[in-house]
Amino acid sequence: MSDIRVRIAPSPSGNLHIGTARTALFNYLFARKNNGKFILRIEDTDLERSNTEYTQNIYDSLKALGLNWDEGPDVGGNYGPYQQSQRFDIYPKYAKKLLESGWAYECFCTPEELEAEKEESIKNKRPHMYSRRCANLTEEEKAKFRAEGRIPAIRFRVPEGETNFHDLVKGDLHFDNSLIGDFVIMKSNNTPTYNFAVVVDDMEMKMTHIIRGEDHIANTAKQIMIYKALGAQVPEFAHLGMILAPDRSKLSKRHGATAVSEFVEKGYLTEALLNFVALLGWSPSDGVEIKTLEEIAQDFRLTEISSSNSIFEYDKLNWMNGQYIKRMDISKLTDLAIPFISCYDLNSYTRPQLEKMIASTREPISVLSELTNDVKYFFGEGVEFEGDVMDKVIKTENSQMVLKYINEQIKDWAFDNPEKLHEQLADIRTYFKENHGIKPKESMWALRAAITGRIHGADLGVIIELLGKDRVEKRVQACIF
Ligand code: GLU
């Protein structure tokens, strides 16, 4: 085991976002590759926006993706608690340390005063920064404010100069401190701000690498200042490019699903989702995109992550999901398919028959939810005819001839012998081609349309076998006019 420790630190203010899943994956892969530890920390300091249902969704989604953590709120570890709301007594100790060393000061400004400052900056078209009005208050001035009933927040005293760091993905980054205003680390209600809590936690939890979205780069400068002021080791940083929607705007609900659980509900497989998000920034060295988590872990190098933004191509995800559906073990796929077809009387089939049904229907689909419609004709007595199938396919002269002929043959069909049945269907095709010049495709369309109401679908032999003699016969007869 190496000393490498990384974490995913989601805020439970929503279901686990697909972007957070990618960040979790890259942290997980980095830990795996380096024999390190992958830690889950729940950042729920914003109690108003946090919700235990979302925390549960985060656990469930990460587990479903196979991104198991070594330490976390539920499994414990040596550096807990791993839920920020249980760490509220830790932050004031560090804030006190910064106050004592002069790196922080009490700020008594009221929200109204701060708002007025901000408006003044806007009026003068200046970038807004805290005026430092409270930066050098005397003890008497502080006492006076306290006597007025003001409760101070604590601000970090940003030093002069620059904050520089080498990002493992983005390269060398420089920040001019004069553009960073003294920022609040503890609010007047004695709770920490994100930038402070994250440093205290990452420091106490001995994180060595912080891998996260590039929307946190500006925060990183502030966080590095806090590490240094606390005399702590600054971890390495790696900021990942953003995930954008195909229209290059921020990926949001209007583009489609965004939470992992939402994708699963729509019929995406977690293996496919994981493989897909891995490709948002990482490229396999052999060019083969479809890979297991294990294979990706072997090939993963943090420093080779692309520093640019990635586009979330739903079409590509659909394709990839289809590939996984096609390749998945049939018993497992059937288990996953059941929620999407449980609107039908599944007890009318045995488990092996259900597996056969799914195996013969899975080929063209890209999401499992398509199965709801695609297996419809396997259930019930009658058939619903799609579009103009009745007029354009079934009622034609040729089809009627085919169906009448088939109606006479059905009694001899080998419903329990797929190979024989296959031959019998081939004989029908040959018969109509040779005697009536009807293309094989056309004769089979007539049969398919009569027993399924459609011209596309599962293997005809499997459909006939699963429907059984009675239903096939009745459905064919119902289409003879
Ligand atoms: N709770 C933060 C977020 O969800 C964590 C950011 C970080 O990784 O430092 O964005």
> Mind listing the pLDDT tens digit for each residue in 288-315?
999 999 999 999 998 899 999 999 999 9
88 C-alpha vs ligand 1 centroid, how far in Å? 17
The predicted-structure confidence for 52-63, as pLDDT tens digits, reads as follows 999 999 999 999
121 C-alpha vs ligand 1 centroid, how far in Å? 29
Position 115 scores a pLDDT of 95
Select from 44, 203, 212, 250 the residue to mutate for testing ligand 1; criterion: most ligand atoms less than 8 Å from CB: 212
Position 355 scores a pLDDT of 98
Contacts of 375 (CB under 8 A, 6+ apart): 341, 344, 357, 358, 361
37 C-alpha vs ligand 1 centroid, how far in Å? 18
67 C-alpha vs ligand 1 centroid, how far in Å? 17
Position 265 scores a pLDDT of 96
Closest ligand 1 atom to the C-alpha of 20?
Answer: 4
Question: Which domains are assigned to the chain?
Answer: 1-72+241-327 (3.40.50.620), 91-240 (3.40.50.620), 329-369 (no CATH), 389-478 (1.10.10.350)
Single out the catalytic residue among 93, 253, 411, 441: 253
9 C-alpha vs ligand 1 centroid, how far in Å? 5
- pLDDT of residue 116 exceeding 90: yes
Q: What angle do CA 362, 256, 270 make, to 5 degrees?
A: 45
- In 187-264, the DSSP E strands lie at 209-213, 236-240, 243-244
CB 10 less than 6 A from any atom of ligand 1? yes
CB 43 less than 6 A from any atom of ligand 1? yes
Closest ligand 1 atom to the C-alpha of 198?
Answer: 9
CB 11 less than 6 A from any atom of ligand 1? yes
Closest ligand 1 atom to the C-alpha of 7?
Answer: 8
Q: What is the pTM of this model?
A: 0.92
Q: Does the annotation mark 395 as catalytic?
A: no
CB 209 less than 6 A from any atom of ligand 1? no
**pLDDT band, residue 1 (cuts 50/70/90):** low
- pLDDT of residue 107 exceeding 90: yes
CB 9 less than 6 A from any atom of ligand 1? yes
> CA-to-CA distance for 256 and 314, rounded, in angstroms?
8
Select from 11, 26, 207 the residue to mutate for testing ligand 1; criterion: most ligand atoms less than 8 Å from CB: 11
**pLDDT band, residue 138 (cuts 50/70/90):** very high
> CA-to-CA distance for 347 and 333, rounded, in angstroms?
18
Are the beta carbons of 7 and 31 closer than 8 angstroms? no
- What percent of the chain shows pLDDT beyond 90? 94
Closest ligand 1 atom to the C-alpha of 219?
Answer: 9
Average pLDDT over residues 413-440: 96
- pLDDT of residue 256 exceeding 90: no
CB 202 less than 6 A from any atom of ligand 1? no
Structure tokens at 321: 């999901």
- Of 93-107, 242-256, 386-400, 404-418, give the lowest mean pLDDT range: 242-256
CB 216 less than 6 A from any atom of ligand 1? yes
- In 78-203, the DSSP E strands lie at 104-107, 153-156, 162-167, 171-176, 184-186
11 C-alpha vs ligand 1 centroid, how far in Å? 7
Position 474 scores a pLDDT of 98
How many beta carbons lie within 10 A of that of residue 104, not counting itself?
Answer: 24
- Distances in whole angstroms, Cα of residue 332 to Cα of each of 6, 132, 325, 359: 32, 62, 10, 11
- pLDDT of residue 163 exceeding 90: yes
Position 183 scores a pLDDT of 98
Closest ligand 1 atom to the C-alpha of 8?
Answer: 8
**pLDDT band, residue 2 (cuts 50/70/90):** confident
Average pLDDT over residues 265-273: 97
For residue 85, give the DSSP letter.
G
Closest ligand 1 atom to the C-alpha of 215?
Answer: 10
Q: Whose CA is nearest to atom 5 of ligand 1?
A: 9
Q: Whose CA is nearest to atom 3 of ligand 1?
A: 10
41 C-alpha vs ligand 1 centroid, how far in Å? 10
- pLDDT of residue 46 exceeding 90: no
Residue environment code for 141-151, b if the CB has 16+ CB neighbours within 10 A, otherwise e = ebeebeeeebe
